[in-house]
Chain A
Amino acid sequence: AQSVTQPDIHITVSEGASLELRCNYSYGATPYLFWYVQSPGQGLQLLLKYFSGDTLVQGIKGFEAEFKRSQSSFNLRKPSVHWSDAAEYFCAVGVYNAGNMLTFGGGTRLMVKP
């Protein structure tokens, strides 16, 4: 069965600093991979997704992620964090044989220091 691990439960960065959130997946075939963001009191919003092609994917709000098959990773990055980026971030893998059902990681909560 597929699984997603986000090793960091909490991360704190200073405003203006760079950010990398880690995501490792386990899946027997080429995965479809997603990053979602959940702002306080809100639902989840898609940041970006990967399903083929260029392994560096650009998303909204200045985020990008890189798919590395050899490391089973799909880490999310942003060169300069803004205070409004404080939120919880979820990585997910799409399951091939059952439509586009998603398996989510446990999430990483990002705090931004002024």
Chain B
Amino acid sequence: DADVTQTPRNRITKTGKRIMLECSQTKGHDRMYWYRQDPGLGLRLIYYSFDVKDINKGEISDGYSVSRQAQAKFSLSLESAIPNQTALYFCATSRAGMTDTQYFGPGTRLTVL
């Protein structure tokens, strides 16, 4: 079984709809991250969480919110989706050390019409 799972893997929605993307991990890591990937821009950090009670905004948090329901679960919500939020979304986890590797889920492809 995969260590970092994301659901759904693909989603098509309409402008104005509320969308939740979910991430679960079995690695026992405290830190979790949400990124979005756009062609030519690489990955950009949306939100990150160092533990259940520590959630922080990343580079591009506007229009997004998150919830850390447990050590293993970190959800990303789009309260009112807009077309420029069409992207590939990745969840990642890591231990707390500066050099520790981030482990990525398989991604969720979101299309907002």
Contacts of B43 in A (CB 8 A): 44, 90, 102, 104
Which residue of chain A lies nearest to B38 when distances are taken between CB atoms in the complex?
A106
Residues in A1-46 with C-beta less than 8 Å from chain B: 4, 6, 9, 32, 34, 36, 41-46
A106 touches B42 (CB 8 A): yes
Contacts of B69 in A (CB 8 A): none
Assuming the contacts A90-B43, A99-B48, A101-B45, asked whether A43 and B107 have C-beta atoms less than 8 A apart, the reply is yes
Q: Which range contains the number of A residues in contact with the other chain?
A: 20 to 34
B106 touches A43 (CB 8 A): yes
Query: Complex formed: what's the CA distance from A55 to B45 in Å?
Result: 28
Pick the contact of B50: A45, A49, A99, A102 (CB < 8 A): A99
Contacts of B40 in A (CB 8 A): 9, 106-107
Residues in A43-63 with C-beta less than 8 Å from chain B: 43-46, 49, 51
Assuming the contacts A106-B40, A107-B40, asked whether A99 and B96 have C-beta atoms less than 8 A apart, the reply is yes
- Does B12 touch A at the CB level, under 8 Å? no
A51 touches B99 (CB 8 A): yes
Contacts of A6 in B (CB 8 A): 42
A32 touches B98 (CB 8 A): yes
Q: Chain B: residues with CB nearer than 8 A to chain A? A: 4, 31, 33, 40-45, 48, 50, 58, 90, 92, 94, 96-102, 104-107
